[in-house]
Amino acid sequence: MPSRPVLYAQLFLCTVNVGWVTVSFVFVEHFTFRRLLFRHMWIWPFHSDSIIDSGVGDVLLNPWRELSWTEKGRGSLRKNLVSFKPACQSLNQVRVLLMGPPGSGKSSFINSVRSVMFGRVLLLPFIGTATKGFIKKLKSYDIRSERGGKPTALTLCDVLALGDGETTGLTLPDALAVIKGHAPEGHKFQSDAPIKAETSGYRPNPSVNDQIHCAVFVLNACQVMTTSEDLTETLRTLQAEISDLDIPQVVLLTHVDQVCHAVQEDVKFVYSSRILQEKMQKAAEVVGLPVSYVLPVKNYSSELSVSCNTDILLLSAVHHILQAVDDTFEDYCPPTPADASPVTGICSASPVQCQSSPVFNV
Ligand SMILES: *[C@@H]1O[C@H](CO)[C@@H](O)[C@H](O)[C@H]1NC(C)=O
């Protein structure tokens, strides 16, 4: 006997504010209805700050950040990453350091970005889950444009998770040593052995390519509201120290699908979810950066195939990180050897100009 499909239905009180008119009604929610409702939200012919309170999470009518949720949008974001070359020519690779407490999702972000590029969810042994998410080494991951393809200009660096206090996790001096490029690849973090000149592989004079070009604070949307005072203090101190180094910083807010039903259904609602807006504001406040520096993402650990909108969210976060690096390093770019080489004559530099120059026209 075939079993009957079970219909999950829930009753919700729905309130719609249209200017000064408030309409309330009760509806039976099931998936089809919800989709229908969301679809209508986008085509309602008025602009206001009206909110639909569906009881499962407030969804704003107008997203507060625009993103193109289309295949084309994904294609162009992907192309941006593959063809990205830092504006500062002495930078070969953009090294992005991920820092966050255990369970914030640093490693799954790395795997998710790789999944986006490979076009399928990677079934790698999960980086770092073996001992409850503790990466003890400095490890850099090149992001390739496809499986076995050329590396993109992006390198994601993972380190020991941040602790709650001074004694556990990544210490401030170690974090700064990594950011300045003193720590060698594979350096093993030990709380009783801070990185110093005697550390094996220590780089006393790191080049611009050894250093970190963007510091990313990774926070879990499920936990951000209850961030401990100790962690807040750690994050703010790091933020202030990194600001002094003139290195761009952003906040990556992970697990956004777990705090809002609408987002769980489709991540394209990230910028329409009021709950998520609050979490992003809190994340900004915890680190001490403006909300515009907070980038929401969702990982690829439960699905088996990539989805367009999750890709877009991940790629858009990467895009903002690379943008932040370009904006900053344009001003602090050291000259490349090519820039310093003597000019060998205007003709070789610009033949078009030479031909039209009066000397050749005589
Ligand atoms: C990936 O995201 C899901 C949903 O937000 C979460 O349940 C899971 O723990 C995450 N996986 C990792 C390894 O962070």
Same domain, 151 and 195: yes
The number of the ligand 1 atom at minimal distance from the alpha carbon of 222 is: 5
Identify which of 249, 323, 292 has the alpha carbon closest to the alpha carbon of residue 77: 323
Which of 302, 306, 310 has the most ligand 1 atoms within 8 A of CB, as the residue to mutate? 302
Same domain, 48 and 189: no
Q: Comparing 4 with 322, which gets the higher pLDDT?
A: 322
Q: Does 358 map to a domain? A: no
Which residues are paired to 27 by β-bridges? 12
Ligand 1 contacts CB of residue 83 (under 6 A): no
Structure confidence by residue, pLDDT tens digits, 120-138: 888 766 555 445 545 589 9
Same domain, 56 and 86: no
Looking at residue 298, what DSSP letter applies? -
Same domain, 75 and 100: yes
Closest protein CA for atom 5 of ligand 1: 255
Domain containing residue 38: 10-60
Rounded Cα gap, residues 233 and 63, in angstroms: 32
β-sheet with 51-53: strand ranges across: 21-29, 10-18, 51-53, 58-60
What pTM was estimated for this model as a whole? 0.78
Same domain, 212 and 273: yes
Identify which of 38, 14, 86, 76 has the alpha carbon closest to the alpha carbon of residue 333: 86
The lowest-confidence range among 74-78, 123-127, 134-138, 210-214 is: 123-127
Same domain, 240 and 108: yes
Q: Does 212 map to a domain? A: yes
Same domain, 133 and 44: no
Phi-psi sector, 141: left (phi>0), alpha (psi -120 to 50), beta = beta
Number of domains, the chain: 2
Q: What is the mean pLDDT of residues 247-275?
A: 95
Same domain, 281 and 322: yes
H-helix or E-strand containing 183? Answer: none
Same domain, 83 and 216: yes
Taking residue 86's Cβ as centre, other Cβ atoms within 10 Å add up to 18
Same domain, 102 and 30: no
Q: What is the mean pLDDT of residues 246-265?
A: 96
CA of 152 to the centre of ligand 1 (A): 26
The number of the ligand 1 atom at minimal distance from the alpha carbon of 105 is: 14
Structure confidence by residue, pLDDT tens digits, 298-348: 999 777 889 999 999 999 999 999 999 999 988 777 776 555 444 443 333
Same domain, 56 and 75: no
pLDDT at 313: 97
Ligand 1 contacts CB of residue 106 (under 6 A): no
Q: Does 297 map to a domain? A: yes
Same domain, 105 and 198: yes
Q: What is the mean pLDDT of residues 267-290?
A: 96
Please say which residue of 23, 41, 60 terminates a domain: 60
Which of 104, 256, 301, 304 has the most ligand 1 atoms within 8 A of CB, as the residue to mutate? 301
